Amino acid sequence: MKHLNARFTLAVACLLPTYTWAQMDFYRASTFGSRFNDINDNGLAVSGGAYFDFPSLTWTDMEPEATSTDAINNADDVAGSMFLDEPNYIMQPAVRINGVWQPIGWFPGSDPQESSFTTYDISPNGLWVTGQMSMGCCDYGTFRYNTATSELTAIFDANYVAVAGYCVTDDGTIGGWADDEGTGSTRRIPVYITPDLEIVQVPPTFPIELTNAVNAINASSLMVGDFNGQPFLFDLATNSFTTFGIPAGYTSATFTDISDNGIAVGYAQDFGDFGSLIRETIVYHPILGDQPVLLKDILLSHGVDINAPTGRMGTAIAISPNGKYIAGWDDDAPFLAMGWVAYMDDLLLGTGVPDHDPIGITVSPNPATDKVNIGSVQELGTVMVFNAGGQVVQQQLIGAMTAVLDLSALPSGVYTIRATNKVSSLVSRVVKN
């Protein structure tokens, strides 16, 4: 096992913001097959058959009644599986609530010996569990399970030959994909399923190719996934759909998860020698620029060795709701891969960063009432203001060495301001009274 810790004061020019006195940490497991599936705000991760606590660097085997751990929320509720018939090695989806595992069971009419399932997610409030389940060998639908009422709902639709639920929110909205085989073969359409079980395509008007999905939905109804080989972000509140570029050297990319403060993670991929699949972790937030960047570049630029045998980080599969922890596995087949966790502290969104950086950008006063003054020793470029959900609420091209931001129209709260000049960027949290 490798545990690396870096405390630094470092200015990073060009594409990466300038940060000071932030702390980052990185852990890579040493056991094959230790990939991480999910992680919560406390740094507790699930890894197939075990729990890993990042703050204490301790592993704990899953409970004997469980057979897999697939997703975890901040209350330490866990979605996974347990035996239905242990002698015949037949499983069923299951959930751990308040430390106690309970079976979810199968659809009425499903023969567990001929059918299959995958458990994917549990909602932040622990009320809902979702995944995919079949009726027989080939008829695949989504399941939604209510942990309060023990009601298991089967979601099928005559317009689709298969439906899968990858993520679920507090109100029971599900994100995933639906397959209409419109081209004569598998065609996965990114969809979300409303609390009333209506299947809605995302986006409804684009030509659909390849395989696509909604992989995650955050508390602000921002959805992420992949569409025609490109990572996307869909804002349900504004009905806006944005695709992003693929990093150089790769042929496709996807976002796998998004934090409640709007940080998206995922991976870019390509085929290497002899047809092997290679992956590299990506991260996106408007503070970092208008396109995803490689997570390893952020870590390495701050003196954190990722200790990757191939030089690539591989797959980022999850980010904690608060955006502080990113989890995944190295550049290997998932069943063999070794897991890793990156602790970003508040680095990406600037919490704890002082109001003055060593390259001469200042932000004051803080707290502020209506106006914020920004000064620089060089001409300022674009200044952006983000709300707590990571959304841009104000943007201004300055072109001078000073600027005044009028925040009077914004409600009271904590905002992130990113100001740039020709050689650096400053990311600072500002409290508006």
Q: Do domains 2-343 and 361-432 have the same CATH topology?
A: no
How far is residue 214 CA from its own chain's centroid?
Answer: 11
Q: What's the whole-model pTM score?
A: 0.80
User: pLDDT at residue 10 above 60?
Assistant: no
**Could you tell me if 76 and 39 are in contact, meaning their C-beta atoms sit under 8 angstroms apart?**
no
Helix (H, G, I), strand (E, B) or coil at 384: strand
Mean pLDDT of the region 403-424: 83
Mean pLDDT of the region 53-58: 93
Alpha-carbon span 298 to 422, nearest angstrom: 20
User: pLDDT at residue 239 above 80?
Assistant: yes
Domain borders along the chain are 2-343, 361-432
**Proportion of the chain above pLDDT 90, given as a percent:** 57
Looking at residue 369, what is its pLDDT?
87
How far is residue 197 CA from its own chain's centroid?
Answer: 24
Comparison of pLDDT for 297 and 428, the residue scoring more:
297
Residue 242 has a CB neighbour count (10 Å cut-off) of: 11
User: pLDDT at residue 346 above 80?
Assistant: no
**Could you tell me if 359 and 49 are in contact, meaning their C-beta atoms sit under 8 angstroms apart?**
no
Residue 54 has a CB neighbour count (10 Å cut-off) of: 22
Looking at residue 425, what is its pLDDT?
66
The predicted-structure confidence for 76-133, as pLDDT tens digits, reads as follows 999 999 999 999 999 999 999 999 999 999 999 889 998 999 999 999 999 999 999 9
Reported for 143-150, long-range contacts at CB under 8 A and 24+ positions apart, including other chains, are 143/93, 143/104, 143/107, 143/117, 144/168, 144/172, 144/174, 144/193, 145/93, 145/95, 145/104, 146/172, 147/77, 147/95, 147/97, 147/102, 150/102
Reported confidence tier of residue 218, pLDDT bands at 50, 70, 90: very high
Residue with tokens 């994917």: 120
* CATH class held by domain 2-343: mainly beta
Comparison of pLDDT for 232 and 385, the residue scoring more:
232
Between the two ends of the chain, the Cα-to-Cα distance in Å is 46
Mean pLDDT of the region 381-398: 82
**Could you tell me if 178 and 189 are in contact, meaning their C-beta atoms sit under 8 angstroms apart?**
yes
User: pLDDT at residue 204 above 90?
Assistant: no
Comparison of pLDDT for 323 and 13, the residue scoring more:
323
Reported confidence tier of residue 22, pLDDT bands at 50, 70, 90: very low
Q: What's the CATH code, domain 361-432?
A: 2.60.40.3080
Mean pLDDT of the region 345-356: 52
